Amino acid sequence: MRYVLPFLILIGFAITSQAQNADIAQDIRGAVKNAETSQPIEGVSIQIEGKAGAQTVTTDAQGNFRLKGLAPGRYKLMASGEGFQSYVLPDLLIHAGKQTVLDIPLRQWLYESEDVTISDQSYRQPDQPSVRPLTVEESKRFA
């Protein structure tokens, strides 16, 4: 019986501590859009890294995302999608009691190359062979 009271007090502190941590944990929500057209981008990977660890989510069909349960502090946020340039926020500060909302514009990745010509003609081997026999004297020069 004498161990029950300290045990109950310990459980009470644990529950209170856990509830307080849940109160200060914050979510980040936002949307990713094409910087040129303002259209939402689906399937963009949003990754956040901080002292508490890392978390990755993917945008939905409307370009929306939500990162949940982040402790206040400094984070690095990265957004990357196929066909778009990556977006990095190197020093994102999350405050306790304040919701963070981000609108992330991604620019299309444009790759310029030289002109390429495609024809329907096949490659034809030359009539003359490119190999000729060597004499013994010629082969000694290369040995």
- Tell how strand 100-106 and strand 26-34 pair up: parallel
Helices H / strands E in the chain, number of each: 2, 7
- Tell how strand 53-58 and strand 87-94 pair up: unpaired
Percent of the chain with pLDDT strictly greater than 90: 50
The pLDDT, as a whole number, for residue 59 is: 97
The pLDDT, as a whole number, for residue 130 is: 64
Residue ranges of alpha helices (H) inside the chain are 4-24, 136-142
Task: Show the tokens assigned to 60.
Answer: 């939905």
Pick from 87, 102, 90, 107: which is nearest to 38 by CA? Answer: 107
Question: Which 3 state secondary structure label does DSSP give 9?
Answer: helix
The pLDDT, as a whole number, for residue 2 is: 62
Confidence bin at 8 (pLDDT 50/70/90): very low
Q: What's the pLDDT tens digit per position in 88-103?
A: 999 999 988 888 999 9
Q: What's the pLDDT tens digit per position in 43-89?
A: 999 999 998 789 999 999 999 999 999 999 999 999 999 999 999 99
Distance CA 115, CA 113 (A): 7
Whether residue 18 is predicted with pLDDT greater than 50 in this model: the reply is: no
- What is the reported pTM? 0.61
